[in-house]
Structure 1
Amino acid sequence: MNIAIIGCGTMGMIYAHNLGNMPGVQVSGVADLIQERADQAAAVSGAASYTNWEEMLEKERPETVAVCLPTYLHTTFVLSLAQRGLHVICEKPAALTVEDAKEMEAVCSQHGVRLFIGHVVRFFPNYRNALEQVRSGTIGEAKMAHFKRCGSYPQGVDFWYHDRAKSGGIIMDLIIHDIDFACWLFGDVESVYASVTSPDLNGMEYAQVTMKFSSGAIANLTGFWGYAGPFTTQFEISGDGGIIRFDSNQVQSLDLKIASGGSGSEEAVQVPSSPVLHDPYYLEVQHFIECIREGSEPIVSAADACRAIEIALACEQSARTGQPVRMEGMTS
């Protein structure tokens, strides 16, 4: 498959590295307004380097394009690529509004091309393992979950993350990872409640989200930009028969504690993830390419991406008003 990449920042470089090492895939071109970044992506992927994306498309004739641009540019580029008859793999979030995301989905469908949104948490082995444990009933009925995601304040060439009109802010850009996973885990969302601190001069920003599901399950999500330590993710999923815990700073992948049947003691089982050759971003884009080749449905759909945006915006509304927001008509 012939693939091109538009945008050669952090995510673009990850795509360039992974696609450049993927059997059956040729990265024909990479484009970025900054020549140096385009050249770096070209060097790791074996592609031609461009600063004009339209020239790249004309010369390289890709079948699929990976859009690794700032969020506020997603809609314009995805619509243009779809109208050219090209399949699109776009980084998350799909867009800054539900209307834009749904238009992207509709236009891609209208032109007979596929649209995939990179909600990569679904491809992290520890999260997938936890989901499988819950669905298999290992911890009984899952009723409560806590998710935490902390990292340094994002930096970029034009600091577009600093402009909420371009990035969507901490909930839309960071916590949306866990919003999507919580929906995958628990299904229909009934209501959300959120609070967000205003960024300080150093970019530190903190947000807390509570999601209530139709099943009665509750998920608490925490996001923190400005964390001084390494990027950290944590979760705890509690059921009436046990608890699953994960901390990215610990060696083990999952800490699974099963209720012992009333004896008063607990049995802790360390469940390591299977050794993987490739990182989750590789697994994600490989999956999307297989869906194009086979005409199969992806693990994460465009509709899932639209739902995540709708919930993130409801959380923003809650943070502004200080009131819970009901998700009318929300389906899984």
Structure 2
Amino acid sequence: MRVGVVGAGAIAVPHVRAWQELGADVLVHSRRPPTEFAERHGTAVAADLDALLATSDLVDVCSPTDTHEEVVLAAVAARLPVICEKPLARTAHGAQALVDAARQAGVPLLPAHVVRWFPAYEALWARVSTGVLGIVEHARFTRQVQAPPDDTWFHDGARSGGVVLDLMLHDLDQALWLFGPVRAVTAQALDPRQRSVRAVLAHESGVTTTVEATWGPLGTPFATAYAVTGSRGSTAHDTSADGASSDEPVEGEDPYLRQARELRDAALTGAAARVTADDGVAAVALAERVLERLPS
């Protein structure tokens, strides 16, 4: 199998490694010639997007958010199955247009929401879905990472959606996966540049979820945490160095590898996957609701 990866930024690295571990040949294209990236990671280089589409069996979109629509539509027109890094598109309208185009063409389209494959979050899903925690009342998710460099596209909100679409989206997806549709949203920026945002979600199921995402200053370690309380018990997980608790291990097979394997099988054989195109649209739509409640 040959996988065409579009984009040669940081997120492309774990995707490429996963495909290579699964035995695929990898071809890379980006707007800037990815020569150095290809040499470092042992991939071939496509001269342009058309060349990539002409010689790939599956397309993996890892390019900047505002390019997703163009690339996915081109792959769909070429009748190629598509895996697209989150967010599926910059807007919910755009994401839905991609889903509609893929369905009309009969082409699989799957969003890469990799947190669903992290062991601690799989364990949380199992505890919630099997009723071990009873009726869940409250949930809290936090996520932080060092902010992208100031001169990158991430800080152009029109292109990226900022910290909400880039980072918070992971936990917004978790909230939807675990607790279902959201009835009401409140949100606040925790700093003037909106690099740290907190949202409170009132789910139709009765659960209240607080989600917080932060692009921190230079040296901020990547860390995620959750705490979920139900009528029969609670569970927590924290990857920070001095986390109060960590109920679940983080060891095991690379989540990006597990994601690639499951999404590949879903794309090529029609096997069920734990994430769907509709999930990708729902996550973007919820992120938009958060953004709408922040100061303009």
TM-score > 0.5 by shorter chain: yes
Aligned length: 295
Deviation of 1:67 after TM superposition, in Å, equals 0.8
Equivalent positions of 1:13-32 (< 5 A) are 13-23=13-23, 25-27=24-26, 29-32=27-30
- Aligned: 1:293 with 2:284: no
Q: Which among 252, 255, 258 is matched to residue 280 of structure 1?
A: 255
Deviation of 1:239 after TM superposition, in Å, equals 0.7
- Aligned: 1:189 with 2:192: no
2:93 & 2:157 partners in 1: Cα distance? 18
Partner of 2:167: 174
Equivalent positions of 1:86-97 (< 5 A) are 86-97=80-91
2:98 & 2:269 partners in 1: Cα distance? 22
Q: Percent identity?
A: 29
Partner of 1:245: 236
Residue type of the partner of 1:14?
A: P
TM-score with structure 2 setting the length? 0.92
Partner of 1:68: 62
Deviation of 1:251 after TM superposition, in Å, equals 9.2
2:77 & 2:66 partners in 1: Cα distance? 19
1:175 & 1:166 partners in 2: Cα distance? 16
2:262 & 2:192 partners in 1: Cα distance? 36
Deviation of 1:198 after TM superposition, in Å, equals 5.7
Residues 279-307 of structure 1 deviation map (CA, whole Å, 9 limit, x = unaligned): 11111111100112321232111101111
Distance 1:108-1:38 versus aligned 2 partners, 3 A rule: farther
Residues 224-264 of structure 1 deviation map (CA, whole Å, 9 limit, x = unaligned): 112443101011011112111100125999745xxxxxxxx
Distance 1:298-1:251 versus aligned 2 partners, 3 A rule: farther
Confirm or deny: 8 A CA contact 1:143 1:216 kept in the other structure: yes
Equivalent positions of 1:48-197 (< 5 A) are 48-58=44-54, 61-155=55-149, 159-197=152-190
> Which moves more between the two structures, 6-15 or 221-230?
221-230
Deviation of 1:216 after TM superposition, in Å, equals 1.0
Equivalent positions of 1:210-249 (< 5 A) are 210-227=200-217, 228-249=219-240
1:14 & 1:239 partners in 2: Cα distance? 35
Q: For structure 2, which runs of at least 5 residues remain unmatched after alignment?
A: none
Which structure exhibits the higher relative contact order, with contacts defined as CA atoms closer than 8 Å and separated by 6 or more residues? 2
Partner SS state of residue 295, structure 2: helix
Partner SS state of residue 56, structure 2: coil
Distance 1:238-1:41 versus aligned 2 partners, 3 A rule: farther
- Aligned: 1:207 with 2:206: no
Q: Which among 268, 286, 289 is matched to residue 311 of structure 1?
A: 286
Q: For structure 1, which runs of at least 5 residues remain unmatched after alignment?
A: 257-270, 322-332
Confirm or deny: 8 A CA contact 1:236 1:246 kept in the other structure: yes
TM-score with structure 1 setting the length? 0.83
State the Cα RMSD in Å: 2.2
Deviation of 1:49 after TM superposition, in Å, equals 1.6
Deviation of 1:159 after TM superposition, in Å, equals 0.7
Partner of 1:11: 11
Confirm or deny: 8 A CA contact 1:254 1:272 kept in the other structure: no
Distance 1:41-1:18 versus aligned 2 partners, 3 A rule: farther
Residue type of the partner of 1:52?
A: D
Residue type of the partner of 1:235?
A: Y
Residue type of the partner of 1:49?
A: V
1:188 & 1:55 partners in 2: Cα distance? 41
Partner SS state of residue 150, structure 1: strand
